[in-house]
Chains A and B, each alone.
Chain A
Amino acid sequence: MMRFERRWLGLAVAAGSLAFASSAFAQSKELVFGFQCDRTGPTATVGTVLCPGYHDYIDLVNSKGGVEGFKIKVIEVDNEYKVPPAVEAHERFKKEGAVLEGLYGTPQTAALNKKLEEDKILGTSPGFGTAAAADGKRFPYTFPIAASYWSQAGGAVEFAKEKMGGLKGKKIAYLFYDNPAGKEPLPILEDLAKSEGFDLRTFAVPAPGVEMGSQVTDIVQRYKPDFVITHLFGRAPSVSIKELKGKGYPLSKVVAFVWGSAEADITAAGGMGVAEGYNTLQFAGVGKDFQVNKDIVAMYKAANKPAPKEMDSTVYYNRGILNAALHVEAVRNAIKAKGGAAPTGEEVKKGMESIKGFTLGGLLPPMELTPADHEGGGWVQVWTVHGGKLTRTKDWFQGYRSVIQKHLAADASKS
């Protein structure tokens, strides 16, 4: 009995000192960022790499004294790609006084759009959510901050045009995951097919996307397209690489959207050697050669730790850095505008909307966020599997920007 009581006493002391420590910590200048992640759900392969990238960049900023004198505290919540935990996460961030938050997942972004607006906390959703959210007037607190599926469609078609030297009379196959995100680019592709005079045929892959033999046979042997655009998720991209390769279609005439373009997808398809020539769209730079990657390695080295193994998966890791870097820049702008004081959620939103010419040595596109454009211009790069790694084949560009803007305006007037 005595031992039992002593243990409780120990716990109480520990809890008390903990409470004291946290209250002492709160007195120093600190800003809270909320960050949702999926480390255990269906998209864990993305989350377990992307989220460490986010944390590492924030740690790097903190190790250099923080942003304008403020340390950043990240509260991460694993939403398991489910909606109720995402709602709970948002409420928790709000309670902890977060000035902004990172969203994770398309249904979760949809579910939180309205809440963000009501609570005046901006949320970023790079690669998630609807293309219409690029319109800052309709979705004032939602920031895609990366090329939407519409912009990616524009980019893919422009890349195809360049590769084939014109689109007139050509045939393009669109292989997509049969869910809302997969269908979203269809209006853009159909519009471009009409205006550019190419023939478009679409091939839907039902969930869970691991069985697409018949679709690929259809594409390769019956339709015989000049180019293939794929828009797949999860395990599906690697299956598509295998199937297309197996049925003899040249991968150099394939371009994948951003969720089919990571090293992990290519490795799962049999390695870089198998996927030689495979083209991928990217909204963040690829590789470990950026200054920020080197800085993170140096930070780990200073703490006598090996470089994080997640960094080897550069596509997702760098997307985490992109997300974190834009969060930090938004807050930096807001603090500067306020003369060094801690900003509110509304002011951070204005800070985000004034980001311009911040590229982090080429890891980020030359984007410009404005109150009307929360996508930042819809920039993409094309990276191609070549000689055992991803190499850059086309630098930052905006594919058919005017067409995308026309559709955004039409969508806004519809609702």
Chain B
Amino acid sequence: MFHREAGVFKTTYASDMALYPLPIAKWTMVALAVLFAIVLPASLEEYYLSILNLIFIAVVGALGLNILVGYTGQISLGHGAFMSVGAYTAANLAVRLGLPFWLTLPAGGLMAAFIGALVGIPSLRIKGLYLAIATLAGQLIIEWTINHVPAISGGAQASIQVPRPDLFGFVLNTQSRLYYFLLFFAALAIVATLNLMRSRIGRAFIAVRDQDIAAEIIGIDIFRYKLLSFAVSSFYAGVTGVLYTYYLGIANYEQFQLGVSIDFLAMIIIGGLGSVLGSIFGAIFVTLLPIVIRTLMENVGSLFFSDSELANVVSGTRLAVFGGLIIFFLVIEPEGLNRLWRNVRSYFRVWPFSY
């Protein structure tokens, strides 16, 4: 917003494909890194860090779902279940074999990727709403299986307590320690997605989304790339599940039911399909907005209502305001918050000489 691109010329393909197209983007990145790694954890109370932690976990999941829905044009209503696959894989490995998180985390992701690719097989034949129903079936089958197989679920309660993650004897048990743990994986997920999308694989995903027959004609193996997209996306979901498990100290499939799949779809639709920044905006929006609305309404409402009345008023109207805001943002920009942000940016690019 505060820079001009004048004088920046790209003379090689490499520079055109660079992660940071402008020198100033690099500095913005550094500033953001300093903000998140040093300034915020040093200045915020634990409560605010805990909200950031929830956002970080949501960012990983939203990025994963956006790879599938936004970039590859497939749809999944089963991501909640893929998260539970990751969660239970990691919990079982951590409890039964005593493995550390840096082994259980990728293991949970890989298991979810495998199951996700299986559930994604129907995508080779069907699209759109039909695929949504097929993945919905996947969600329900996985829930049922976990509920009914004690070997996975660890008993009738279907919940497995896991120890806190530790790194070289340093136990991550407070919000500020978990903050760094989750920040690392959120950042890793962001960088990985940015890189994936400018690679051959990412471009193949986009080609499949735009027109799969055309993509096949230009030599993209649809079978492979659709399943790969399901696998990569489910890997992210699995990692999200593992992060939740370590964050809460328990794996429990009731935390990953259909509503969660829909929440994540809402995130990427509000944030913007097919964009990394959009996934981040969406995760922030859906996690933070209810909290912000509630805090505002509690402060304003306490002028008119007693505490016990307020509780009733707030919870009802909060949902209405939340829904209203989603509609508002989607009406002014159907392509999501990311597009809204780009519009603002391009307006200021030529400001004050817009024509």
Contact = CB atoms under 8 A, between A and B. Distances in A.
B159 A180 contact: yes
Interface residues of A, number: 46
A94 B254 contact: no
A111 B250 contact: yes
Contact of A87 (B50, B159, B252, B307): B50
Given A84-B287, A130-B157, A39 B173 contact: no
Interface in A177-224: 178-180, 183-184, 186-187
A158 interface: no
Contacts of B316: 39-40
Contacts of B45: 95
Contacts of A73: 307
A335 interface: no
A404 to B, nearest CB: 15
Given A180-B156, A180-B254, A186-B156, A91 B47 contact: yes
Nearest to A14: B303
A140 interface: no
B250 A110 contact: yes
A114 B147 contact: no
Contacts of B164: 114
A74 B311 CA distance: 10
Nearest to B308: A55
Contact of A114 (B54, B175, B249, B259): B249
Contacts of A94: 46-47
Contacts of A115: 248-249
Interface in A277-307: none
B177 to A, nearest CB: 11
B317 to A, nearest CB: 10
Contacts of B58: 84
B220 to A, nearest CB: 38
Contacts of B294: 77-78
B311 A76 contact: yes
A58 B161 CA distance: 34
B199 interface: no
B339 interface: no
B292 to A, nearest CB: 12
Contacts of B188: none
Interface residues of B, number: 43
A77 B51 CA distance: 15
B312 interface: yes
Contacts of B291: 88
Contacts of B149: none
B259 A52 contact: no
A59 interface: yes
Contacts of A186: 156
A112 to B, nearest CB: 8
A18 interface: yes
Given A92-B47, A111-B250, A37 B147 contact: no
A235 interface: no
A82 B50 contact: no
A40 B316 CA distance: 7
Contacts of A91: 46-47, 50-51, 175
Contact of B156 (A78, A88, A112, A184): A184
A85 B164 CA distance: 21
B158 interface: yes
B314 interface: yes
A51 B314 CA distance: 13
Given A78-B315, A118-B173, A186-B156, A55 B307 contact: yes
B106 interface: no
Interface in B310-325: 311-312, 314-316, 318-319
B255 A83 contact: yes
A190 to B, nearest CB: 11
Nearest to A113: B250
Given A130-B157, A179-B147, A37 B173 contact: no
B299 interface: yes
B290 A95 contact: no
Interface in A82-124: 82-85, 87-88, 91-92, 94-95, 106-107, 110-115, 118
A58 B293 CA distance: 26
B283 to A, nearest CB: 11
B126 to A, nearest CB: 25
Contacts of A55: 307-308, 311
Interface in A46-72: 48, 51-52, 55-56, 58-59
Contacts of B299: 18
A110 B312 contact: no
Contact of B315 (A40, A82, A132, A179): A40
A178 B299 CA distance: 42
B54 A87 contact: yes
A88 B312 contact: no
Contacts of A18: 299, 302-303
Nearest to B251: A110
B147 A180 contact: yes
Contacts of A83: 244, 248, 255
A39 B153 CA distance: 30
A52 B226 CA distance: 51
Given A87-B54, A130-B159, A179-B147, A114 B314 contact: no
Contacts of A130: 157, 159
A51 B311 contact: yes
Contacts of B255: 83, 107, 110-111
Interface string B229-256: 0000000000000001001111010110
Contact of B248 (A37, A106, A111, A179): A111
A276 B275 CA distance: 60
Nearest to A95: B47
A84 B54 contact: yes
Contacts of B54: 84, 87-88
Interface in B132-180: 147, 153, 156-159, 161, 164, 173-175
Nearest to B154: A415
B249 A178 contact: no
15 contacts: A39-B312, A39-B315, A51-B312, A52-B308, A58-B308, A78-B311, A83-B255, A87-B50, A88-B50, A91-B47, A113-B249, A115-B248, A132-B157, A180-B153, A184-B156
Interface of B: 45-47, 50-51, 54, 58, 147, 153, 156-159, 161, 164, 173-175, 244, 247-250, 252, 254-255, 259, 287, 290-291, 294, 299, 302-303, 307-308, 311-312, 314-316, 318-319
Which 6 interchain pairs have the tightest Cβ spacing?
A55-B308, A114-B249, A78-B315, A91-B50, A95-B47, A107-B254
